[in-house]
Amino acid sequence: MLTLEDYLTAFVGSLTAHAALAVYLFVMMDVRGWRILKKLPALLLSPLAASLLQVGLYVLIPGHVLVRYYISSFAVLLMCTFWARWAWRTEFWRAFSAVCMGGVFQVSTSCLSQILLLNSELRFTVVVYLVVVPISALLLHRLRFGRWFRFLLEEGFGQCRTALFLFALEAAMETFLILQAGIQPEYLGPYFMLVLAMAALEAGLVIHLAQRLDAARKAAAQQDVIAQQQLYERDLEAIRQEVRAFRHDYKNLLAGLSEQADEGELDQLRAALSELDAGFDRRIGEKIQASTQIGNVRVPQVRSLLLSKLAAMGKQGINCRLEVLYPVERIGMDPWDFTRCLGILLDNAAEAALETDTPWVEIILLPQKGRLSLRISNPYAGTINPDKIWTESFSTKGEGRGLGLPSYQRMLADYPHAAASTSWADGVFVQELTVEEKA
């Protein structure tokens, strides 16, 4: 028969498990989000509901221990997912993945505490948790597990698949934990060690996958760099050719001019001179302008991205302007992260600009005194709801557009020296990003 004491034990057990899960979630999702702490009390509902569910299931189907265990575990998983989704204002699959991963860690924590308790008289699991959870959380934090984990879940990389994969891992872990009932006491020690090793391997696997993904992306980008560099060189070659042709022309022109000067035809002379000036600007000036600006970008990843985006926007009929007054040698953040930020902003700008009659995008990069400013502006059609721009998947036009901004913000969260401002006055949308080099 179920007593109140049993119920309380189950509740306390569930509560500690939830607390551990919350700590791991915190490590994985965003360590700096201290405001999440305010939403923590709501998580208390989950153990309450879980233990009530367990009682209910016990009454309904007293026999099937495993079935009951799975149902209640899954319910807890779902409840925690909804809490995480609400607390971090993120999509379902992200939250689900994080909770599954947290579940794996929580299971391994309980295994570890069982090992520590195996040969002792101590019956207070809570005390062991208090020691084990912070230490392991700190370890994960030092391993930058959260960064890799978030990276793995960036949109556009099969979030749903990753989530289901993590769910399978979590289910396997839970099954292992269940199996302990059938293990003979003298093998419990090695058994728990095995489970622990599995959890460590899983964490390693996640990091490894994220790193592979990162490496693949970088390799693809590198290919891009090479291709773009070649394009750039072709541009320079074209300028060289033009200059040669111009040199030939201008010798002829000069000959004509000196003739006119000899004959004293001042008006014609003046006209010919201005023609010469305009001709130079038209033929070479523009190209030189564009290539000096892009040539000032000395960070290869950024230059390559700019070249490819400028080319793509040019094809779409967007009028682009790039200004880079001084050479950009370094950036106060990981160049790949900066490139991704730039990519998101440019994609959004191009998308919004294309909805207007005269699409244009303007990019200004200005490095000065240990600080780099980026300013991207574009016209937009429609209205902007300032309360919604920065939340998930908002766009002026329907679902699935403007997806990048939240991920842009998440990326910047790792950089305390970066500040991102936005404005939308007079039909022009402006994104500004200033990155200070760390003092």
Partner 1 sequence: MIPIYLCDDEESVRHQLKTALEWKIFMENYDMKVVCAASAAQELLETAQDTRRGVYFLDVDLKDGAWDGFTLGRELRRRDPHGTLVYITSYGDLAWKTFQYHLEAFDYIVKEGEQTGPAITRCLEAVHARLLDERHDPAEMFSLRTGDETRHIPLAGILFFEAAPKAHHVYLHTADSRLDFVGSLNELEKELDGRFVRVHRSFLAAWDKIEAVDGKGNQVRVGGRMCLLSRTGKAELKKKLRGSF
Q: Which residues bind partner 1 (CB under 8 A)?
A: 32-33, 35, 281, 285-286, 288-289, 293, 321, 323-326, 362, 364, 366, 368-371, 373, 375, 386-387, 412-413, 416, 419-425, 430, 434, 436
CA distance 102 to 263: 90
**Token pair of 128 as six digits:** 């062991």
Compute the 3-state secondary structure of the chain and give helix, strand, coil in percent, each to the nearest 5. Answer: 70, 10, 20
| Closer by beta carbon to partner 1, 168 or else 419 | 419
CB of 122 to partner 1, least distance (A): 39
CB of 279 to partner 1, least distance (A): 14
CB of 319 to partner 1, least distance (A): 13
Per the CB < 8 A criterion, the answer to whether 126 and 19 are in contact is no
| Closer by beta carbon to partner 1, 255 or else 425 | 425
CA distance 88 to 81: 11
CB of 109 to partner 1, least distance (A): 28
| Closer by beta carbon to partner 1, 210 or else 306 | 306
CB count within 10 Å of CB 326 equals 10
| Closer by beta carbon to partner 1, 123 or else 369 | 369
CB count within 10 Å of CB 5 equals 8
CB count within 10 Å of CB 166 equals 25
| Closer by beta carbon to partner 1, 234 or else 270 | 270
Which own/partner contact pairs does 35-39 have at CB distance under 8 Å and 24+ positions apart? Answer: 36/87, 36/88, 39/83, 39/86, 39/87
CB of 331 to partner 1, least distance (A): 15
Measured CA distances, 275 to 272, 279, 280, 333 (Å): 5, 6, 9, 47
CA distance 176 to 178: 5
CA distance 99 to 121: 32
| Closer by beta carbon to partner 1, 6 or else 436 | 436
| Closer by beta carbon to partner 1, 48 or else 364 | 364
CB of 399 to partner 1, least distance (A): 23
| Closer by beta carbon to partner 1, 32 or else 123 | 32
CB of 374 to partner 1, least distance (A): 11
CB of 270 to partner 1, least distance (A): 9
CA distance 381 to 355: 6
Strands (E), 239-290: none
